Each structure stands twice: as structure tokens, then as C-alpha cells.
Structure 1
């Protein structure tokens, strides 16, 4: 229900700004996974390592938010799988974090294109990234 309210709010905000936007100016919208994604990763130590991230998907057309919400479980599962296959060194380094983000972005776009026929995600952002 909360996501539906956010989607509707996005539509109303975009509609109110449409008068001020030129025909060629893109109107971006964001879809956030709720709750945050938490999973384990391959640790060099004897205890399990975990990572907790907040992910936002950026789309150019606010109407695409409906497709993202519909396919949320599929996209979330793909991100969890990617994170779970990472080494501790990769999870904890800045370069590794960027590689993981790109891998998630490519997988999300590939999956959403398979499901809807179009790659709608313009960018994938980690807005929170915690690990242990």
C-alpha cells in the first residue's frame, strides 16, 4: 500500500511539473526496494559476513514504476543472489562496490527487459551500503 501511495504521489508531482518541462527534458522517477536488502556474503573469516543496502532504481518515465513494483520480487532476488556470491574483499572495497552496483544494474535491466520488452532502468543507486 505504501508503494502504491508513493507511485501515485510521483504521478501527481510529475503532472504538476509537466507545464514547466520542455518536450525534450526527461522526467526521472525513482523506485526504492522496501525493506532494505540484507544478505550474507562469502567471508574470509569463520563468521558470516553480511551486507545491508538500500537500492533505488532510476527510470525516465514515471509510468515504468508500475512495472518495477510488479516485478519487485524477481529483481530483489537477483540482487540478493549477486550480493551473496561476492567475496569479502570485493564487498568492502570501493572499486568492488562499484562493480557490484554495475552488475546489479545490468541484471535488473536484463530481467525487466525480458519481462516487459524494454530496458527501463536508467541507473541503479546504492543509497545505503553497510557491511560487517
Structure 2
């Protein structure tokens, strides 16, 4: 009965709040977020990433951050599933600080250097489309 209640709570949160908190440092948004992948574009079909999607993202990002001598565990992550050219991607926002609106909207930060980055992960091809760190302070 308890499992059924938790499942119902998760389903309700998906449709009510359009996000699912995975951990204290990770949240997935189902829809309604403004995502800028190309200059001047923000309207993409969005979906709630599944566990396999997040595992792919985390694996790719951990490897890439390690190459840059950055510690993956120092970041907070926001994930949005995005459909682009009929393929599934996960847009990732990462921050070394947790803001008061971390759970409710996508971060938009200018500056901050290596403390903030965003990425677009092609979960169908297990590849990083882009990984952009913010400009220095």
C-alpha cells in the first residue's frame, strides 16, 4: 500500500508541479521550462527524463568533468528532456551553488566561470552535443 501511495505521489507531482526531485542535488523537469539551445530559440517539446537517461547523462558528464579536473560531486543538476530533430536529448544545467528556486525553475546565470555550466546530451547516441561553462566573473 505504501509503494502505491508513493507511486501516486510521484505521478501527481509530475502532472501538478512538472518536476521530480531525484536527490538533494538533482531535479528533473517535465515541461514548461524555457530552454535556449540555439540563439533565439526556446520552444522545444519536452519530456520527463527516465532513470536510464539520467544514468547516461551522469556517466558522460563525470568523464568529461574528470578530464577538466573538476569534481562532479561539487555540482547541483537540473535536467530537462528535450526533443530536437526527432531525437531525445537531455538539457543539463549545473551549478556549484543551490539557489532558492533550484526546485522550481531552470537557472539562468551570467558569469561565474566553472561554477556554472550547461550541456546537451544525446541519450540515443550516448554523446555530448555541447558542454558550455559560463564566462569568468
| Same fold? TM cut 0.5 | no
If the length of structure 1 is used for normalisation, what is the TM-score? 0.33
In terms of fraction of residues, the more helix-rich structure is 1
Q: Which of the two has higher C-alpha Rg?
A: 1
If the length of structure 2 is used for normalisation, what is the TM-score? 0.32
In terms of fraction of residues, the more strand-rich structure is 2
Structure with larger RCO (C-alpha < 8 A, sep 6+): 1
